[in-house]
Amino acid sequence: MFNIEQFLDMSNDDIMEKNNGKKFDIVLMNPPYDGSLHLRFLEKCIKIGENIISIQPSDPFVKINIKSKLADKLKSFIDDIEIFKAKDIEKMFNIWSSSDLGIIVAKQKGAKGYIAENSNFKDIINKIRKQKSIRSSINYHPKKNEEMDNKFVFLQGDYGYAKSWHYTLEQIIKGHPGAGIKFNTVEEANNFKDALLNCWPYKFMYYIDDNAAVIAHLPFMGDYTKQWTDERFYKYFDIDENKQKEIEEYIKTRE
């Protein structure tokens, strides 16, 4: 009925002209996933349809560590989301997916609105994400068969650090040398690894990211000459006692 390449640029009136000038009762779609294109299609269809059912990436709606102004704008129109995990998508359709997919039900009027899980932690996540990440701190690429010393911390396994979200916190400091961080002393390297495996920001973000160590979301503190502790991290990120208790309870229920 419509040229998909022109659809987003068409006026709402021109589209509804195909329906005698009325809004469509139901819009069913599986929009293009390129960038935020699927969100733009959803935004457009909410304006021309009473009820929208769309199969598209659900991450911008359900994962609070993904920043999207457009997704935030559309959440009030969401009535329901049924989520299919990326690993299940791969099994069902034999395709690789970097995002969970959702069957999204949206309504122009009367929608329940969507509040992402763990929204109460949004400010804390923003504080952590503003810190320089481990991924952006990679500074050493060893040569093949190069002898390594204890000052080097692995940050990737067989598939490369860009896909380290597959790994647990323990796994991202093991595996085949490819890219990582080399510290000035063995003590600094050990302090980094100790913080990574034992301190709350890393456990917290691991669970927020659905049991995945996303090194683009994990903070790198720069100075590891002294040991980092939970207390030191709470002070650094200015977390009050009430939020500390919430964080500790959140981690406890998932360990």
Q: How far is CA 224 from CA 63, 89, 154, 193, in A?
A: 30, 40, 16, 10
Higher local confidence (pLDDT), 50 or 210? 50
Of 34-38, 97-101, 215-219, the poorest mean pLDDT is in 97-101
Higher local confidence (pLDDT), 193 or 99? 193
Average model confidence (pLDDT) across the chain: 87
Residue 148 carries which DSSP code? Answer: P
- Residue for token pair 């973000």: 205
Neighbours of 138 (CB within 10 A): 19
Q: Which of 36, 72, 76 is nearest to 56 (CA)?
A: 36
Q: Enumerate helices (H) and strands (E) in the chain, giving the number of each.
A: 11, 6
Higher local confidence (pLDDT), 44 or 62? 44
pLDDT of residue 164: 45
| DSSP conformation letters of 66-95 | S--HHHHHHGGGEEEEEEE-HHHHHHHHS-
pLDDT band at 160, cuts 50/70/90?
A: very low
Q: Which of 72, 80, 108, 89 is nearest to 33 (CA)?
A: 89
pLDDT of residue 230: 98
> Taking 50 as the threshold, does the pLDDT of residue 161 lie above it?
no
pLDDT of residue 172: 75
> Taking 60 as the threshold, does the pLDDT of residue 198 lie above it?
yes
pLDDT of residue 65: 74
pTM value > 0.85: no
pLDDT band at 241, cuts 50/70/90?
A: very high
Write phi, then psi, for 133 (nearest 5 degrees).
-90, 165
pLDDT band at 156, cuts 50/70/90?
A: low
Average pLDDT over residues 199-207: 95
pLDDT of residue 158: 44
pLDDT of residue 179: 75
Average pLDDT over residues 95-116: 87
What is the C-alpha separation between 62 and 172, in angstroms, rounded? 25
